[in-house]
Amino acid sequence: MTQPIATSADLLSRFLTEKPDEKVKSHACKSRLYQVAMVVAAIGAMAILGSVSAVYLGLLGEATLSGWATLAAFVGSIVLLQGVDTFAKWQISEQKETRWYQKLNTELQSVQNWDEVAIRQFFADRRHPIQTLEPNTLTILEKINRSRPLLALLPLIARCRLVEKATEKWAHKEQAQKVAMQQLSHLPQNFQGPLLNIHKALAARAVQKQEHYEKCAIGCVELVVPA
């Protein structure tokens, strides 16, 4: 079944109502569960392979395994080892999400005391001044804070600030790779090629990440004040 495409209003509503502290707990719990599953799968695979090896080495006395049983044991161990790899990837993904929401929660705390003036200034600094909000946007904000709707934007501002910091981080990484490439000129020619390719690849990745986060930051602002 095709998933419905999220509208700008849906995305804005989700960003404004998401609770980073609850997300941290949720993703951290999933990470631990995947870690346990990974360990269980690894133990299971080792137990199967160990048992089969013990039978063929004669360590279990007269015990024997038929060809089908041996095949089934090896297939089972392969499935479990694939499970280890899958659970490990899922755990890493959940760890990344946990760290992201921890940073987002910290950023939200840092803007928690902003007033309407600071909020307006934030958007003005990004060349998207808040003048008249669209009816749909105003409705979403008033559902969260009827008396002071602009204060409902603080979670989105926190997200935008965090994304901007990520943009700056990758910009610094790109610059560091450029400096490293300049320093390679002091090395012999036969050493420069491989190292230069590595630094170029890292610089290209930094540029991609930087562009991605720049678009995300602009997207956050334009959810409230369209271009």
67 plus 177 within the same structural domain: no
95 plus 125 within the same structural domain: no
| Confidence band, pLDDT 50/70/90 cuts, at residue 199 | confident
Q: How high is the pLDDT of residue 61?
A: 59
Enter the tokens of residue 201: 């690849």
C-alpha distance across the termini of the chain, in Å:
33
Q: How high is the pLDDT of residue 184?
A: 75
86 plus 115 within the same structural domain: no
Mean pLDDT score, 6-30: 91
Last residue of a domain, one of 48, 70, 102: 102
Output DSSP code: residue 113: T
Q: pLDDT tens digits for 81-104? A: 999 999 999 999 999 999 999 999
**Domains held by the chain: number:** 2
Q: How high is the pLDDT of residue 152?
A: 96
Residue 210 is inside which H or E element, if any? Answer: helix 189-224
Residue 187, pLDDT above cutoff 80: no
Q: pLDDT tens digits for 138-160? A: 999 999 999 999 999 999 999 99
55 plus 115 within the same structural domain: no
Residue 117, pLDDT above cutoff 50: yes
7/111: higher pLDDT: 111
Task: Tell me how far apart the alpha carbons of residues 172 and 51 are, in angstroms, rounded to a whole number.
Answer: 53
| Confidence band, pLDDT 50/70/90 cuts, at residue 135 | confident
78 plus 168 within the same structural domain: no
Mean pLDDT score, 198-226: 92
190: exposed, middle or buried (Cβ count in 10 Å: 0-12, 13-18, 19+) = exposed
62 plus 158 within the same structural domain: no
Closest CA to 159 of 99, 117, 107, 199: 107
With the CA atoms of 179, 182, 187 and 188 taken in that order, what torsion angle do they form, in degrees rounded to the nearest 10?
A: 150
Mean pLDDT score, 23-33: 97
Mean pLDDT score, 55-80: 75
